[in-house]
Amino acid sequence: MPLSTPSGLVTELARRGYNAEREAITLLANAADPALALDRAVEDAPDDALRITVAHVRAVLDTDKLSADAPTKPPSDESADAPPRESVTQDPPVSTGETDQTAEPKPNRPSQSAPVETEGSASADVEDTVSSTDTGETVPSTDIGDTGKAVPSSTSSDGDSSPPVSTDTTLSSEASQSSHTRNPTPAHITNDMTGASTGTGEYKQFVTTFKDRYERLSKLLRGRVNHRPAKAIQQMPGGSDAEMIGLVNDIRSTASGHWLVELEDTTGTFPCLVMKDKNIAELVDQMLKDECIAIQGTLADDAGILFADSIHFPDIPRTHRPSTADRHVQAALISDVHVGSQEFMADAWNRFTDWLHTPEADPVEYLLIAGDMVEGVGIYPNQDEELDIIDIYDQYERFAEYLKQVPGDMEIVMIPGNHDAVRLAEPQPGFDEELREIMSAHDAKITSNPSTVTVENVSVLMYHGVSLDEVIAELPADKASYDEPHKAMYQLLKKRHVAPQYGGHTRVAPEEKDYLVIEDVPDVFHTGHVHKLGWGKYHNVLAVNSGCWQAQTDFQKSVNIDPDAGYAPILDLDTLEMTVRKFS
């Protein structure tokens, strides 16, 4: 088992008698030398430690010995990461749009004032619990302003304040069946690259992809800075003011604790120094390699480096006003069904689809599924021991059966995830003909990961979410964590890219266009993958991570993944308010 993979690391730690935090595993896997990092983390952990934590790993990575120089772009497929960044607690940053704390009037705002983005308290949410029904219990509902919400797993069974889950969940009488007919408008899909892949994996194709990324994201920053190409800045005299838009080529800490951020545009690279005692130093913690940013500052006397005064992310304009449906209609946003796994929660799924047939669910006309329809095969070591169905095609056959339980008059849109039978590298094309044929009963729309799906005027950016693991591992916990997955999504919105960092965990395929750029601001951003439920608004964009339908696997137990399973977030398309229904 190679020690560079998370599962290899988990196995090795288990062999040495340790459990580990999930973020710690991801950090180790992303280290320049994972095996060495693991050795050092184990060595440095206290004697009585049973679990390797993020703090243990950061402590050894921070010694610098393990950090590799960043590769020049495009890098090889091997991961080589900048030294991890420490979390700093400072005043709110000064540049535009770094936090979402300046609340503007929001169209869907509740009468009470909403707390700031960082205060979405999970337990408080549970006290908001509204009602339970025969078939599904609603957990936190109502509009959320800029607040985020996450459902702690403790609410799934015997949380103090949540009503017990009804066990009488089958539809016992015909009378509870709805006689209503839904009339969804066909979903409109953009950014689908299914059948349009031009990538052959050659070096020069990565250059094309990155050029496209730069061109489209730099446009979003041009209004805010007076960009000078790297080549021009190289010619400018010392002391001049200069502003540059570039992809982050490297982030390094200097011996004295300042940050050296190297930006690259189509003409070359230029080094920028962010002093540790400036407010903007906090923004370096939120930076990922290969994302597009702008830095404004003053050239040093020898003109060799730019002293940064402000840092800008492409971001979502605060003036963004989402579009809404002009009638009362809803969409169920789900993901990570994992049919074929022994842990697939068939009972919860059955309750969900039963509920869809009740009058209460009449307005739910759309079902958007953000990847991992099936458990797949060979995704992680020893997975076969937990498979209920071992053949991938049989898994899709079974999934198709479960999909048939969804009312036939609902419009369904699906994208693939990392467990699905399409290429792993992103963008992932939609399912091939053979799989479409298997899943054809429902005439679901099948599109690539990521894609933008517009239903009833509301644009929903659907992305499975593999990069969230990386964002969570790299960024400070208050900016991104498994317990509040929507905050990691805010970061992707801010970067206007669903998988900014190249060469790490998330595989990226070269294409003529960078399909992973978030060029148009969506009204809703829907992801899955981390198997945690959380949602919140970022500059009026609703970010929803939709949980899963798979109970905790042995593997997940070994890495402390505590999934939110059996929930269906229901989105009001006319108000963009969310209700979460619990079926587990």
25 touches which of ligand D5M, Fe ion, Zn ion, none (CB within 5 to 8 A by kind)?
ligand D5M
Q: State which of positions 167-186 bind Fe ion (CB under 5 A).
A: none
> Does residue 314 contact residue 217 with C-beta atoms inside 8 Å?
yes
The C-alpha torsion from 250 through 92 and 491 to 297, rounded to 10°, is -40
Site map for ligand D5M, 311-330, x if CB under 6 A? Answer: --------------------
Residue 559 near ligand D5M by CB under 6 A: yes
CA distance 83 to 67: 5
**Nearest to ligand D5M of 217, 516 (CB atom):** 516
Shortest distance in whole angstroms from residue 216 CB to Zn ion: 26
Residue of 6, 74, 314, 522 interacting with ligand D5M (CB under 6 A): 6
Return the number of the residue (487 or 529) whose C-beta is nearest Zn ion: 529
Decide whether 156 or 540 has the Cβ nearer to Fe ion. Answer: 156
Number of neighbouring beta carbons within 10 Å of residue 46: 7
Residue 243, SS3 per DSSP: strand
- In contact, 558 and 14? CB cutoff 8 Å: yes
Q: With CB under 6 A, what is the number of residues at the site for ligand D5M? A: 15
Residues 330-369 that bind ligand D5M (CB under 6 A): 336
* Residue 136 interacts with which of Zn ion, Fe ion, ligand D5M, none, CB < 5 to 8 Å by class: none
Residue 307 touches ligand D5M, criterion: CB under 6 A? no
Give first-to-last CA distance, the chain, whole Å.
35
* Listed residue (529, 304, 581) closest to 415, CA to CA: 529
Determine the interface stretch with ligand D5M among 95-103, 165-173, 527-535, 567-575 (rule: CB under 6 A).
Answer: 527-535
Name the one range near ligand D5M by CB under 6 A: 54-62, 214-222, 292-300, 524-532.
524-532
3-state SS of 309-338 is EEEECCCCCCCCCCCCCCCCCEEEEECCCC
**559 touches, from Zn ion, ligand D5M, Fe ion, none (C-beta below 5 to 8 Å by class):** ligand D5M
Among 246, 416, 417, 510, binds Zn ion (CB under 5 A): 417
- Cα–Cα distance, 565 to 30 (Å, whole number): 28
How many alpha carbons lie under 13 Å from residue 566 in its C-beta half-sphere?
Answer: 25
- Using the rule CB under 6 A, is 13 a contact of ligand D5M? no
Burial zone of 27 (CB within 10 Å; 0-12 exposed, 13-18 middle, 19+ buried): buried
84 forms part of the interface with Zn ion (CB under 5 A): no
* Binding span for ligand D5M by CB under 6 A among 109-117, 361-369, 523-531, 575-583: 523-531
Instruction: Give min distance, CB of 450 to ligand D5M, in A.
Output: 15
Cβ burial 400-416 (10 Å sphere, 16+ → b, else e)? bebbeebbeebbbbbbb
Using CB under 6 A as the binding rule, whether residue 12 contacts ligand D5M is answered as no
**Buried/exposed code over 131-160 (b: 16+ C-beta within 10 A; e: otherwise):** ebebbbbbbbbebbbbbbbbbbbebbeebe
How far apart are the C-alpha atoms of 259 and 252, rounded to whole Å?
6
The amino acid present at 288, given as its one-letter code, is L
Measured between alpha carbons, how far is 400 from 439 in angstroms, rounded to an integer? Answer: 5
* Cβ-based nearer residue to ligand D5M, 218 or 418: 418
Q: Report the SS3 class of residue 375.
A: coil
Longest CA–CA span in the chain (Å) reads 82
Cβ 448 to Fe ion, closest distance in Å? 17
Q: Establish if 419 lies at the interface with ligand D5M (CB under 6 A).
A: yes
Considering only residues 353 to 382 of the shown chain, the ones binding Zn ion according to CB under 5 A are: 372
Window contacting ligand D5M (CB under 6 A); options: 72-80, 185-193, 393-401, 529-537: 529-537
Q: Does 336 bind Fe ion (CB under 5 A)?
A: yes
**Integer Cα distance of 543 and 522 in angstroms:** 10
Applying CB under 6 A, does 380 fall inside the site for ligand D5M?
yes
Partner whose footprint covers residue 530, from Zn ion, ligand D5M, Fe ion, none (CB < 5 to 8 Å by kind): ligand D5M
Give dist(CA 364, CA 120) in Å, integer.
Answer: 26
Residue 452 contacts residue 515 (beta carbons within 8 Å)? no
Give the one residue of 13, 24, 25, 435 binding ligand D5M; rule: CB under 6 A.
25
Give the residue nearest to Zn ion (CB): 529
Distance CA 446, CA 193 (A): 11
Q: Are 501 and 518 in contact (CB under 8 A)?
A: no
For position 372 contacting Fe ion by CB under 5 A, the verdict is yes
Q: CB within 8 A of 85, min separation 6: which ones?
A: 251, 253, 284, 285, 287, 474, 476
Rounded to a whole number of angstroms, the minimum distance from the CB of residue 195 to Zn ion is: 23
Handedness of CA 464, 467, 469, 472 (dihedral sign): negative
The option from ligand D5M, Fe ion, Zn ion, none interacting with 526 (CB < 5 to 8 A, set by class) reads none
**CA nearest to 339, candidates 376, 365, 307, 305:** 376
In this chain, which residue has its C-beta nearest to ligand D5M? 6
* Residues 328-357, mask of contacts with Zn ion (x by CB under 5 A): ------------------------------
Residue 2 CA to residue 82 CA, distance in Å, equals: 22
Q: Which of 469, 470, 511, 564 binds ligand D5M (CB under 6 A)?
A: 469
- Nearest distance in Å: CB 72, ligand D5M: 28
Binding letters toward Zn ion, positions 494-533, x by CB under 5 A: -----------------------------------x----
**CB under 5 A: which stretch of 7-15, 126-134, 330-338, 512-520 binds Fe ion?**
330-338
- In the complex, minimum distance from the CB of residue 317 to ligand D5M, in angstroms, rounded to a whole number: 30
CB 114 within 8 A of CB 144: yes
In the block, residue with structure tokens 């409109």 = 188
Please tell me the distance from the alpha carbon of residue 118 to that of residue 490, in angstroms, as a whole number: 11
The one segment of 111-119, 258-266, 366-374, 497-505 that binds Fe ion by CB under 5 A:
366-374
Identity of the residue numbered 205: Q
The contact set with Fe ion (CB under 5 A) reads: 336, 372
The contact set with Zn ion (CB under 5 A) reads: 372, 417-418, 529
The contact set with ligand D5M (CB under 6 A) reads: 6-7, 22, 25, 336, 372, 380, 418-419, 469, 529-531, 559, 561
